[in-house]
Amino acid sequence: MSQSIIFTNEINQALAQLLSEMDFNKLFVLTDENTAHYVAPKFGETLYTHNAINITIPAGDTYKNIESLAHVWSELGNNGATRRSLLINLGGGMVTDLGGFAASTFKRGIPFFNIPTTLLSAVDAAVGGKTGINFNGLKNEVGVFNEAKAVIISTIPLYTLPIEEVKSGFAEMLKHSLLKDSSTFNKLLAFDFDNYTPDHLLDLLEESVNVKRDIVAQDPHEKGLRRALNLGHTVGHAFESLAMQRLAPIPHGYAVAWGMVVELVLSHLMLKFDSTILHRYAQFVHDNYGAFHITCDDYPALIALMQHDKKSNRGEMNFSLLNAIGDIKINCEASEDDVKASLDIYRDLMHI
C-alpha cells in the first residue's frame, strides 16, 4: 500500500491532481453537517467536475456509531458505488475514522482519501490507518487498520477553528516532538499562541505528521513500536474519563498535554528522564493549557481507570515512557506508588 500525504494550502489543486491520477468510476464525499456547510464549498469546483455525490452524517462523536456507519454503506450502495469508486472523507477525526471504516468494508474495501479539517485530525486521526466507530459505550471498539490512499493536509481549515481546538491538536504535535528530537521539541516550546497565523503551522505540521508516519510504517498493526504513540495517553485517557464522570468533559489534546506531564514525571522516576526538560515542558503546559484539577481523593479512581486501559492485559498499568527525548520505552509497568508519586508531583508542577 503506498500512501500519498500531501502538505499544501493549495488544497483544491492538490485534490484535482490526485483525482486525475486515480482510476475510479464514481466519486463520493463524506462530510458531517458542519463540514458540509463550512468546508466542502472550498472544494466545490473540483468536486462538481467529478459529479461527486455527497453523503452527510450528523456532527459529533456521539454519531460515530453503527447507525451512521450503516447510513454510509446504504448511501454508497444506493448510489451505485462499486469497488472502483472512491470516497473522500472531509472532516475531523470522527469523519475520517468512520468514513475510513465504511470504505474499508464496503464490498470488502474501496479506496478512500482523507482531508482532515481540524489540527487534531491532521496530526493524528487522518494518518496511520486506524479506522473505526464507537460501540457498546466504548470508543473505537470496532474498526480496521487500513490506510487512506491519500491524505491532504493543509492549514486552511484551521482559520475557522477556535484556539482551544488548535491547542488540542498542538498537544499531539508536542508528543511527536518528544518521540523525535530536541530540535523539534524546542521549536514547539517556542510557539506563541498569542501571535501566530495558521500558515506558521504548516511546516511544523509536516514535521510532526512525518514522525507518526515513520512509526506507523514500522508497525502498522500496533504489535509493538507503535505503542510509542501512546505517550501521555494512559494518564490522558484516565483524565478524560474522570472529566466525563464529573460531567465536565475536556478536549482530548488537553488531556494528553496534562497526561504527558504525569508520564514525563514517571519517566524521570523510573527511567531517569532529564528533569530540566520535564520542568520546561510542564511550564509550557501550565502557561498554555492551564491545569486539570485533581486531589488525592481522585487517585483511586484514576488508578482504576488506568488498570482498565486498552493497553492493559491483566489489570497492570501500562505506559509508553521516555529514557530521553527520542528514546522511547514501551510496555513499562508502573506500581501504584510510582503513579501516586507522579500525580503528587504533577500537582506541584501545575501549582494545584
Q: Which of 20, 51, 136, 197 binds a copy of itself (CB under 8 A)?
A: 136
What is the biggest distance separating any 2 CA atoms in the chain, rounded to whole angstroms? 62
Please, what is the minimum distance in Å from the beta carbon of residue 39 to a copy of itself?
Answer: 27
Q: Nearest distance from residue 135's CB to a copy of itself, in Å?
A: 6
Q: Which of 2, 21, 48, 138 binds a copy of itself (CB under 8 A)?
A: 138
Count of all residues that appear for the chain in the document: 352
Closest listed residue to residue 265, CA positions, set 349, 174, 185: 349
From residue 203 to residue 242, what is the string marking binding to a copy of itself with x (rule CB under 8 A)?
------------------xx--------------------
Among the residue ranges 69-77, 86-94, 163-171, 198-206, the one whose residues contact a copy of itself (CB under 8 A): 69-77
User: 53 has which bridge partners?
Assistant: 28
CA–CA gap between residue 160 and residue 163 (Å, rounded): 9
Q: Which amino acid is residue 161, in one-letter code?
A: L
**Burial of 173 by CB count in 10 Å (0-12 exposed, 13-18 middle, 19+ buried)?**
buried
Q: Kind of pairing, strands 27-32 and 327-333? A: unpaired
Q: Which of residues 133 and 334 has its CB atom nearest to a copy of itself in the complex? A: 133
Is 104 one of the binding residues for a copy of itself (CB under 8 A)?
yes
Q: Is 112 in the site for a copy of itself (CB under 8 A)?
A: no
308: left (phi over 0), alpha (psi -120 to 50) or beta: alpha
CB of 77 to a copy of itself, least distance (A): 5
Out of 77, 224, 249, 300, point to the residue binding a copy of itself (CB under 8 A): 77
Nearer to a copy of itself, 71 or 347 (CB): 71
Contact track, a copy of itself, 247-266, x by CB under 8 A: --------------------
Decide if residue 1 touches a copy of itself (CB under 8 A).
no
Cell numbers of 316, please?
497492570
Query: For a copy of itself, which stretch binds (CB under 8 A), given 103-111, 116-124, 189-197, 244-252?
Result: 103-111
- In the beta sheet, which residues pair with residue 88? 29, 113
Which residues 6+ apart lie within 8 Å of 263 measured at CB?
231, 232, 234, 235, 319, 320, 321, 342
DSSP conformation class of 125: I
Binding residues for a copy of itself (CB under 8 A): 25, 66, 70, 73-74, 77-78, 82, 84, 101, 104-109, 130-132, 135-136, 138, 140-145, 221-222, 310, 313-314
